[in-house]
Amino acid sequence: MRNKRKLIREQLDNTLRVFEPLRHISPPPKGWIRAIRDALGINGRQLADRMGEHRSRTEQIEQRELTGSVTVKTMKRTAEALDCVFVYGFVPRTSLEQTVRARAEQAAKERLARASGTMALEDQSLTEEENDRVLADMVDEMVDDLPPELWNIS
């Protein structure tokens, strides 16, 4: 199962890499629907007709796009009426592997800090080198195992 999850992360990272340039694209000030509609020269009534809706509905859709409350289903229908394809997805800030590793490192440091406190009370503290080695091992183990508590807020 370990290798399977890692393989899935690697494959998904490779698939998502093509979307990296999209991370920096901001929606137009009036939203994508309005920008595409204006660029095509389609007025609100015409879009409503193409969607089989009342004019007030297209105004509502454009407003909901701006507030983030429009549904994916509505965006797909609107895109279709504009002869577009609605694309929905997530673009990771880094790779999924880096995200998992960074979280594992944070969790391992927290776990090690708690253990170090107990060990210090018992006068059994680790050297800096030992501490680094234990931390690296803990991170590798968490990345491999993906324990359920990895994503708990601490």
Give the global pTM: 0.76
88 occurs within a structural domain: no
Q: Are residues 66 and 13 in the same domain?
A: yes
Which residues, other chains included, contact 98 with Cβ-Cβ below 8 Å and sequence gap of 6+?
none
Residues 113-133 pLDDT 10s: 887 655 544 455 667 788 888
Residues 79-105 pLDDT 10s: 999 999 999 989 999 999 999 999 999
Hey, how many other C-beta atoms are within 10 angstroms of the C-beta on 28? Answer: 13
Hey, how many other C-beta atoms are within 10 angstroms of the C-beta on 65? Answer: 19
87 occurs within a structural domain: no
Q: Which domain holds residue 132?
A: 96-151
Q: Are residues 129 and 77 in the same domain?
A: no
Last residue of a domain, one of 81, 106, 128: 81
Residues 51-84 pLDDT 10s: 999 999 999 999 999 999 999 999 999 999 999 9
Q: Are residues 26 and 65 in the same domain?
A: yes
Residue-level pLDDT at 154: 65
Q: Which residue has the higher pLDDT, 154 or 59?
A: 59
Enter the tokens of residue 122.
């018992």
Helices (H), the chain: 2-16, 32-40, 44-51, 55-67, 72-81, 96-121, 128-145
Enter the tokens of residue 28.
């137009």
| Total structural domains within the chain | 2
The predicted model gives 5-30 an average pLDDT of 93
